[in-house]
Chain A
């Protein structure tokens, strides 16, 4: 590759992370094109974290109007009277001038039509193939299945996630993912390093206690598609399983279905009580659909899921962004395949959802 080498100013800016994940990982980050959908609190956190890390380009889709600025994403908004995607561009460019920031559709079509929800459904193979990785937030389940189906087929790395109040999750589909892990090198191998010295006899003694030499090992991991993951059978799990793994998954299902039905998240205001009742009803639906005991969903969650909560966006967004960085840089074992956070019980777990 022609301009594969980092400029001195980049080396300086990324110094503290190159010392962690190495130069090779940084070069891969620097060559990667990411598509991000949805600029709620979670999307905004992910944007911030991956732009700081130094990807090549970030394209953002979010045609909601600026007035929809809410709790978790406010730190990215500085310009007025435009869509959320366009509003964050200048701020993100300042955050890291090395990263190319785009929006889709292009900036020159200054449409005031903020109800253009078809834009996600209209995304096709040709468009997605321009990217190395897609991260979708704030979407309906249909939209997520649509996007994942394309990504799975085209082998574009896929993430989707969301937060509601104290709860949040993200799902990962990296298809067939190759990555490297770093392990301590065997001692004999380490001994051969210094050949430039003309005093070979020194080597045996002086290198025994030296800091661990490391070597990398290549690995491959396969992932389920979102469709496969959603058909995961929970009914066969023994009840003691749910004592160790809190049933955050079902709360997330309820909240996702709420959005799919209403086209929005539960909100404080005139409809608050109606929203609560609807959530209770959806609890019953999810219980039936998944064939699980009704006691598994503690209805208390209804008090903790209205609106965004900044620290929850930061926690889920931080873990998600780190997984994106891992996936792009092909470094370290990825989380296969869902991370769930429950801020009421302070749990953050990684579970494997696969077709049984």
Chain B
């Protein structure tokens, strides 16, 4: 028993039922700490299975556990060092509707050990709705953070807008890449066009629409306006023909759009002779095999080899989803991204680096997770001891701050009164073009994608209660391809948006805009900048946050992007 806890706290600890969401890097450490602190009743939810790359930090797992559900093995391992604990392992997604408000209400406390924003948003909302205190955490490399969320008393997870994942304008990807990442994004889009669920937004062919909205008159008029998928199917996925289109004829077509190259260096179609020069400047002894940069000739070889393999798998298994851990999937993207880099005179990247960029890999180590999981339990102990007023947000920076603090703490902030999630009457405003935005886009990209709902119901607040979107499957499918304008949504309209599971209602104000939004965005959330500004200034003055931890907050938030 942890004798340094006061007696009543020791009792509370041993009788409290707590929920741990996530059994990964932080989760493994957290489960250990909880069990060793005297917690006797744990429920753990996690959807994931064990991968070799987990083993450098997720110490409850070993090599012979690879492929098994994390929760199951975590439970077995933890019981081995405390057989008297009751640990319930749930191998499932926390987003599923079984885990509703009454599920959450059985716990004294919820602790998040998650790695993605979507699940964090969801658990945040359910804890707010159920009135359960949540300890939220995250780590990325050497950095980490722990905070405490209680409805009405502290900032919720969504009180501060999180930076949106970095996206690139479609025309940069399709026409004018200038960095390796542009070519990597293009290669992943190409993979989906060829082998996955084709998405019209992610086409890879040259685009005749320019940044300024002007449509380019190409001199070469033979370009077929069929989708890449149709074209490739018509050629029966012949690797030579696909190669010729992607790296020769499409590039020649781009070159014919002269305006594009007035201020840029033009690309060069891949010529056979350039494939012969396989200058290899890698220092093989110093590198991992995957850190070696392939020659252009090697890229061509891999392209020719992996394309038919993936085609065959697609015919057998149906539409594929790109997976960074599948060798063929990764090889295809490495080869095509590098070939595109080469045509545009961009530096080639190694397989090792492309895997990071294409797979959004966040480096992770045992030590950071151990510290963060320890801090989670320290906050949990304060909450169970009735000392919520002593709870803090803690940042772990890489180095001590100028005040010598390695654990940088700041008081919990009050809830943002304009928060679109935890304020009494949540409201948000979005600017978009109602004539070009479909109901499907409204649902998938705005309400689910941006506002984090899982199964929304939407009605127009027009006095008639016109139902736009229903969470019942199939009920409003006819509406999905229609444009907002077809429902008399123009100028300014109010929508009532509701997610039953999250017990979350949002008033969504839509403002029509004829002008194109910056960076080809389909919509823009209008935030009350003045209020955010004032809060930031206040935060600066009040808290012990120094430049390191402010940067860290951003790093941490960025790390949540999946």
Contacts and interface: CB of A to CB of B under 8 A. Distances in A.
Partners in one complex: yes
Interface of A: 5-6, 8-9, 11-20, 23, 45, 48-49, 52-54, 71-72, 74-75, 77-78, 94-97, 165-166, 193-199, 201-203, 205-207, 209-211, 244-245, 267-268, 303-315, 317-319, 321-322, 325, 332-333, 335, 339, 341, 343, 346-351
Nearest to B342: A197
A346 B378 CA distance: 8
Contact of B290 (A11, A71, A349): A11
B221 interface: no
5 contacts: A13-B53, A307-B4, A308-B4, A335-B400, A348-B407
Most B CB atoms within 10 A — which of A78, A97, A196, A210?
A: A196
Contacts of A305: 4
Interface in B1-17: 1-6
Given A8-B289, A20-B142, A346 B36 contact: no
Nearest to A267: B3
Given A74-B82, A206-B178, A314 B373 contact: yes
A310 B344 CA distance: 55
Given A71-B36, A202-B265, A306 B274 contact: no
Nearest to A349: B404
Contacts of A349: 400, 404-407
B287 A23 contact: yes
Contacts, number: 224
Contacts of B466: none
Interface of B: 1-6, 29, 32-33, 36-37, 52-53, 55-57, 59, 62-63, 80-82, 141-142, 178-181, 264-265, 268, 274, 277, 279, 281, 285-291, 295, 342, 344-348, 356, 361, 363-371, 373-378, 381, 390, 392, 394, 398-400, 403-407, 409
Nearest to A166: B4
A313 B342 CA distance: 51
Given A11-B290, A12-B52, A311 B342 contact: no
Given A16-B364, A49-B366, A310-B36, 12 more contacts: A11-B290, A15-B56, A20-B364, A74-B82, A165-B4, A202-B344, A309-B5, A310-B2, A318-B367, A321-B366, A321-B367, A349-B407
Contacts of A165: 4
Most B CB atoms within 10 A — which of A195, A312, A321, A346?
A: A346
Given A206-B345, A210-B180, A348-B407, A195 B281 contact: yes
A153 B37 CA distance: 40
A133 to B, nearest CB: 15
Contacts of A306: 3-4
Contacts of A49: 366-367, 370
A53 B57 CA distance: 8
A315 B371 contact: yes
Contacts of B404: 244-245, 349-351
B70 to A, nearest CB: 15
Contacts of B375: 311, 315
B354 to A, nearest CB: 12
Contacts of B368: 318, 322
Contacts of B52: 9, 12-13
Given A206-B346, A307-B2, A347-B405, A333 B365 contact: no
Nearest to A24: B286
Contact of A339 (B29, B366, B381, B406): B406
